[in-house]
């Protein structure tokens, strides 16, 4: 049984692909006009659907409760962070000269993870991945300040370390992501006819508006090119 969000999403996806199919046909017609001396000066026909209103009967079968995110254990996250720390500080000289910093970070980040884990228990699991990322980032910056690592690790290496740890903790922080509440619904004609009652069936009047995007290319700060999708 699909979610109501899947039914609505399918409608929007179908409109996107309808626009794609129409544009592909317009491109084919453009080639035909170009090769025809009697048509090459004429404007191209292009059909668009700027707004589409759909009256859709659906049956609402049941409600599925939301589930909260589950934080992984502090021990697992701590282990992954220390592995990432050694991987990023892969130079032997850096590893050997920053032992005090590594020990400080290990202790500070363990305390931070334990604190966040306790907060999760007190909030019934309603915790975000970003709160864990920030706790780890704070522990890293505190360890850098309390040790001599600020002088022993170059600025580029510190920036790379900060970014690597942020990505790593973001990837491993949650054992299970949060799942929002949903409505199980059906829009299949035969199923709606069979199940429809005054209590379970509704009619949705949906208006979809088409907004076009186009690629724009600009120079990046490092001399390369970067493409962006912008409104038409």
The pLDDT tens digits for 106-136 are: 999 999 999 988 887 776 656 778 889 999 9
Alpha helices in the chain (DSSP H): 4-35, 74-88, 92-97, 99-122, 129-146, 149-152, 155-172, 189-195
Average pLDDT, rounded, for the chain: 86
Structure tokens at 201: 């069936």
* Chain centre distance of CA 229: 17
Task: Give bridge partners of residue 230 from the DSSP assignment.
Answer: 214
pLDDT, tens digit, 9 for 90 and up, residues 30-75: 999 999 999 988 998 888 888 889 888 888 888 888 888 888 999 9
Longest dimension (CA), the chain: 81
* Chain centre distance of CA 172: 15
Residue 221 to residues 126, 180, 229: CA-CA distances in angstroms?
40, 39, 18
Regarding pTM above 0.75, the answer is no
pLDDT at site 171: 93
Please name the residue that has the structure tokens 């850098």.
Answer: 144
Closest by alpha carbon to 166, among 190, 191, 134, 192?
134
Residue 170 to residues 28, 166, 214: CA-CA distances in angstroms?
46, 6, 32
Structure tokens at 153: 């690790």
pLDDT at site 124: 64
Task: Give bridge partners of residue 55 from the DSSP assignment.
Answer: 205
pLDDT at site 223: 59
pLDDT at site 110: 95
pLDDT at site 127: 73
Helix (H, G, I), strand (E, B) or coil at 124: coil
């Amino acid at each position: 049984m699909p979610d109501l969000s899947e039914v609505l999403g399918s409608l929007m996806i179908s409109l996107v692909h309808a626009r794609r199919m129409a544009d592909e046909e317009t491109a084919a017609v453009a080639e035909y006009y170009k090769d025809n001396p009697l048509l090459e000066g004429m404007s191209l026909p292009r059909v668009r659907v700027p707004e589409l209103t759909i009256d859709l009967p659906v049956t609402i079968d049941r409600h599925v409760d939301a589930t909260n995110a589950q934080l992984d254990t502090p021990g697992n996250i701590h282990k992954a962070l220390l592995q990432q720390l050694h991987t990023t500080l892969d130079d032997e000289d850096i590893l050997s000269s920053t032992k005090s910093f590594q020990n400080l970070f290990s202790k500070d980040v363990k305390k931070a993870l334990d604190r966040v884990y306790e907060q999760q228990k007190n909030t019934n699991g309603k915790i975000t991945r970003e709160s864990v990322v920030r706790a780890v980032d704070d522990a890293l910056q505190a360890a850098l300040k309390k040790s001599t690592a600020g002088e022993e690790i170059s600025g580029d290496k510190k920036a790379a370390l900060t970014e690597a740890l942020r990505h790593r903790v973001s990837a491993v922080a949650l054992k299970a992501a949060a799942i929002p509440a949903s409505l199980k619904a059906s829009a299949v004609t035969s199923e709606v006819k069979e199940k429809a009652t005054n209590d379970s069936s509704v009619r949705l009047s949906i208006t979809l508006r088409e907004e076009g995007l186009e690629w724009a290319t600009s120079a990046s700060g490092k001399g390369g090119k970067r493409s962006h999708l912008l409104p038409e």
